[in-house]
Amino acid sequence: MSKVLVIPVIPDPKRRKAPRQDDTRYIEGQRLLVEAMKYLAQSDREANKPAIELLSEHFRTQFRMSDSPLQ
């Protein structure tokens, strides 16, 4: 067995990364998934329930909760 030695480093505020820019394809993908779920729910909710669940699972696992389309 070996031991891991951790040396804490004080964060340097000057080394911060540049702010992330919005990716319009990412936001459009979110909007498209939501529109697809709405369409499936309006046309025939019970028959399309498995498809809605699949899209919902994909939406929940691929996108962070803090993500939101631009206002």
CA–CA distance, 54 with 9 (Å, rounded to integer): 43
Question: First vs last Cα of the chain: how many Å apart?
Answer: 54
Could you list the pLDDT tens digit for every one of the 71 residues in the chain? 678 777 787 777 777 776 767 778 878 888 888 899 899 999 999 999 999 888 888 777 766 555 555 54
Q: Which pLDDT score is estimated for 43?
A: 92
pTM, two decimal places: 0.53
Q: Which pLDDT score is estimated for 49?
A: 92
CA distances, 70 to each of 22, 26, 67 (Å) = 9, 11, 9
